[in-house]
A and B are shown apart, each in its own frame.
Chain A
């Protein structure tokens, strides 16, 4: 396992893929933007390690859920952009609903009201 994933902000296995897909719904983005968006949206609770971001992106591309192309970033730099594919969109719907079920279940077990905040341990 890559050492980069052993931090406080370690994400539940599989959730990173889902979050990347979710981020890409808003439009094409390169690695830096994706990481930034996830961090900002989670109010800096989740820290995206590059050690897992890039393998995850590759995995998603391998499965055909995202496609990639080289483009120019907002700061005029060469960057690799990722785009959600139709298959990726379907997968996102699937994973979102699965995630909701899971979060609710954990919430019930922990005696809390069903919320969807199970990001961190």
Chain B
């Protein structure tokens, strides 16, 4: 026996046939020569040859690998069975395709985002370091990781030895132009210390990374990411050494980063040295938190001891700067967790949800298979009686679920390719540093999944339908085999589990949806309808002085306000609902000095033009708005939010008080107005906020423009951009969208998890109701005779209906109760993902229970009604 012969046994058989034909011919010829008649000669020759089929069978068996052959035969048989009932097969395959597809694409994302090491050298030894404040407010929202101040980073690096090296990075943004006035492009950028890439262990493709002498405030080196290099510079390596212009300033391209390097996200297009473009005095600040620090552990030092050194330095810094927001401790986080911080929970939740759906899918296919097992009971019994071993019978039946799962898995993987693509493009919060795609490991996962689901879905029905009880069906007197009763119980149990899992999924989805609806419905505190927002970066080169910037701002506002269709225009720094934007500490001149170490008053910083509040319809509570006169040289004025007023001026009138903001021009500001609160992000608590006049010209990181229009704001986007271009054609405009879009984007995680879990839950509900319907129909056919007898003896139709209905509803109700009880525990796990929604929200629980009960009644009604319409005569003759 050999594999070679196994695969060409048909040809061997053909040859053998010819060989035997030749034998027959020879023998016949010989017999004729002996003097027999041709007919007799042939007959004798055939007798001599014996049974040719038997010879062929012997040889065939001799050439056969028996296990492969039997499995192959089982497979062929299963395929034929499936083909005979295409409806069942298609439903089962579609169910498995959906379940396996969804699971595979979620696994793809989870693996890329949470599990796969980043494309850095020895990424397991990289750790992100953050400042960690001890006070209750910082820890209240799980907000334990604070960006690092530059001076802290430099002290950590200089004074500790536990880490091999430490590097810092920060965000930046530029308007990119070429040497010859090409189209400006607004690009996201990052600043990295000169050792940043050596700490990560990333080598440039062309050129080099930064050197220490370039990492200075006037440093003008730039590294291109592969994306920008390919896109804007056509992959021409001669760009290295040439100059590009960032915000009008020339920078020399020193290198190109490799293709896979999309850290911290794919939006970052280029890197400049960390210090480049920063005011030199900023580097000495311990309270200006804007950097990410990544450190590489030394192989011989544990994280705990390396960390304790840094913490000790940080605590000393805290004591030295008691009047500034300098954290007490240092907190570490792995680089993968750091990137996935916002999506880890939703991803794990989705993974659980999809796992539930997969389980339901398996149970459903198992349920369908049990029903089919009933139809094949006689066949199984006969095969068993003829000597087939139980294992052989189980194997034969498993083939069917294996085929279903293989077909489902194959189409599921194709489905997951599309689903993964959609997810990565639609879910903006997903970090893409490692690249998200289906690869070998994912395919391996899918294969394992297929085998597992095949086992899960097939084993139970196969075992149950091959037990001893099946032989009872061979007994002539047995009308309804006893085996079918136990099988009905099995199906009911499967169904109960299926419904219980569905309830858990539905309740989870309901809670998330309710929470999302609450988030959507949140009042940000300003008008959001018909508002176009966009972002302007004024290059410091051109608009470096307040006069220049003010001139531009005032002309822009004037021109925009004069446009037809524009109701109002607001210009400021970070609009409500669009992010944190940074905060500063302050102290109140009129209040006694704080005790050293006490938490410092702290507020978000915003700037606003005189028409800002009325344009965004943020109500004034007391005092006045800014006027065109509120400029740096005419006494500094500030407006505070209601929250700030209540928190830091309890029982006082904040108007006329003076706040001193060290980080903001180190100046005193007189409070001239109190406005209503706005949210900096939907779903987050309001923070105290202070507004400074934009005409003061100090918050020059960039300007957010909001244009309130008469009708569709997006229709105004081109005219507005044309106005801007008319003022300064080199100015780059970015993030053009409506305010509702901008706010909606910030809810991406909530929206994603709510909609996906809901989709999974609905699918599960459909599956469960199909299962319910199937079980009851099956029960009805099983009990046809019994029902016939009952009716012949006088049972009324409505009694039969009730009987069948309750029989079907029992597993549903038990499942509901179990599922609700389980949900009560399980929903505690998603508390942190819920906004303004209780995990035991009665409305959701009631709604889910009612929905499921309705669906269950509907699914049971049809077979129950059919049972009640039975003609007793026909029913009794049925067998």
Check: A83 CB closer than 8 A to any chain B CB: no
Check: B422 CB closer than 8 A to any chain A CB: no
Contacts of B59 in A (CB 8 A): 54-55, 58
**C-alpha gap A54/B18 in the complex (Å):** 12
The minimal Cβ–Cβ distance linking B625 to chain A, given in whole angstroms, is 99
**C-alpha gap A68/B57 in the complex (Å):** 21
The minimal Cβ–Cβ distance linking A119 to chain B, given in whole angstroms, is 19
Contact between B54 and A58, CB atoms less than 8 A apart:
no
Residue on A with the closest CB to B63?
A58
**C-alpha gap A58/B59 in the complex (Å):** 8
Interface residues of A in 42-56 (CB under 8 A from B): 49-51, 54-55
**C-alpha gap A4/B63 in the complex (Å):** 19
**C-alpha gap A62/B9 in the complex (Å):** 13
The minimal Cβ–Cβ distance linking B421 to chain A, given in whole angstroms, is 52
Check: A77 CB closer than 8 A to any chain B CB: yes
**C-alpha gap A5/B861 in the complex (Å):** 66
Contact between B26 and A54, CB atoms less than 8 A apart:
no
Contact between A51 and B58, CB atoms less than 8 A apart:
yes
Contacts of A62 in B (CB 8 A): 1-2, 5
Check: B51 CB closer than 8 A to any chain A CB: yes
Contact between B54 and A73, CB atoms less than 8 A apart:
no
Check: A107 CB closer than 8 A to any chain B CB: no
Number of contacting residues on B, CB 8 A?
27
Interface residues of B in 283-313 (CB under 8 A from A): none
What sequence of 0s and 1s flags, for each residue 1-15 of chain A, a beta carbon within 8 Å of any chain B beta carbon? 011100000000000
Check: A32 CB closer than 8 A to any chain B CB: yes
Check: B460 CB closer than 8 A to any chain A CB: no
Prevailing SS type, chain A contact patch? helix
Number of contacting residues on A, CB 8 A?
22
Residue on A with the closest CB to B54?
A2
Contact between B58 and A55, CB atoms less than 8 A apart:
yes
Q: Name, among B16, B26, B29, B52, the residue most crowded by chain A CB atoms within 10 Å (CB to CB).
A: B26
Check: A90 CB closer than 8 A to any chain B CB: no
Interface residues of B in 4-38 (CB under 8 A from A): 5, 12, 15-16, 18-20, 22-23, 25-27, 29
Check: B49 CB closer than 8 A to any chain A CB: yes
Check: B826 CB closer than 8 A to any chain A CB: no
Contact between B50 and A50, CB atoms less than 8 A apart:
yes
The minimal Cβ–Cβ distance linking A72 to chain B, given in whole angstroms, is 10
Q: Name, among A31, A32, A35, the residue most crowded by chain B CB atoms within 10 Å (CB to CB).
A: A32
**C-alpha gap A3/B58 in the complex (Å):** 10
Check: B259 CB closer than 8 A to any chain A CB: no
Contacts of A31 in B (CB 8 A): 19-20, 22-23
Contact between A75 and B20, CB atoms less than 8 A apart:
no
Check: B55 CB closer than 8 A to any chain A CB: yes
Contact between A51 and B18, CB atoms less than 8 A apart:
no
Contacts of B50 in A (CB 8 A): 4, 49-51
Contact between B55 and A75, CB atoms less than 8 A apart:
no
Q: Which 8 A-B pairs have the closest CB atoms?
A: A32-B26, A79-B22, A4-B50, A32-B23, A80-B19, A2-B58, A50-B49, A55-B58
Q: Which residues of A contact B (CB under 8 A)?
A: 2-4, 30-33, 35, 49-51, 54-55, 58-59, 62, 73, 75, 77-80
